[in-house]
Amino acid sequence: MEREDPQPAPRRRLTIAILDDHQRAAGRYLPLAELQRVCDPVVTIYEDVAAGPDQLVARIGDAQVVIAMRERSELSREVIERLDVTELIVTSGASNAAIDLAAAQECGIAVCGTRSKDGAAAELAWGLLLALMRRIPQEHAAIHDGRWGIHVGDTLEGKRLGILGLGKLGRRVAGYGRAFGMEVLAHSRSLTREFALAVGCEDVSRDTLFRESDVVSVHLKLTPDTRGSIAARELGLMRRSAVLVNTARGALVDEGALVTALSRGTIAGAALDVYDREPLPVDSPLLALDNVVLTPHIGYVTTDKYRAYFEQAAEIIAAHLRGEVIRDLR
């Protein structure tokens, strides 16, 4: 009697929820064909931020995999403990302060991240600074309104750049400053004088950095210690002609104190890519100020970043289906 060939194992149906895809990037960059080789994916994409924990839990629903776009939605303990079938959370980037990693571990949910080149956020920080110093958005708008040459800008050469947080991104921005002929000051908790000198910076105290810099560029990680650590006191140390650039995390800066400083002319201006609440509310007082340049948290929003993120997300999911965990963040 001829033996029948064994039937292939049924393919697993895998439900995937993609959160906060404002730019509709998943449709362009998620390699669906790669996922279809290892499972039958059912993908649901949400483009806006959930109104609160209840709506977020409802959106995730029966998703076995959650793909989180950076730190837009807070996957708190309250949310994670209500995810009955979720097995895996994938976030863009190598960290995500909005995910309660301890809760995920207790609930048996793997949390994995992605990696890509570091330059995008640093490049945006410098672009924002140039736009602020030369009033580029205002001049662009003026031309469209039929006006010509309405502002007098300022140069960077010869000024002092203060880098708060001399990690990978901070060092890149420091290099841009040197290329523009700036003197670069730096402060980090673990920074040594020798390391600062090796990367072309002068190691100074935190107060000295705020007091003596013409530009303060923020590149700190968000931790309980750094949250709200740039407040009225620090802004009060800055020169009236100085500006603040923040492309790190909005919660590092006391937004109310910053609005007050900008409104009163305590500092000359600010360039921001990150905010306390995102998307920025339509009634935010920042929108009424003419000495700011604002972008919608796009430091990582580039073709290269998105392609790397979604390709690695697919790799992480495939590994998970094999019983493996790669790029674990817990």
As annotated, the active-site residues are 249, 278, 297
How far lies 276's CA from each of 45, 133, 169, 211, 220, in Å? 24, 24, 21, 25, 15
CA distance 22 to 50: 12
CB neighbour list of residue 253: distance below 8 Å, 6 or more residues apart? 218, 228, 230, 231, 244, 246
How far lies 78's CA from each of 54, 71, 86, 92, 104, in Å? 9, 16, 14, 22, 11
User: What is residue 8's DSSP assignment?
Assistant: P
Identify the CA nearest to 167 among candidates 215, 105, 122, 228.
122
DSSP 253-289: B-HHHHHHHHHHTSSSEEEES--SSSSPPTT-GGGG-
Tell me if 113 sits within 8 A of 327, measured CB to CB: yes
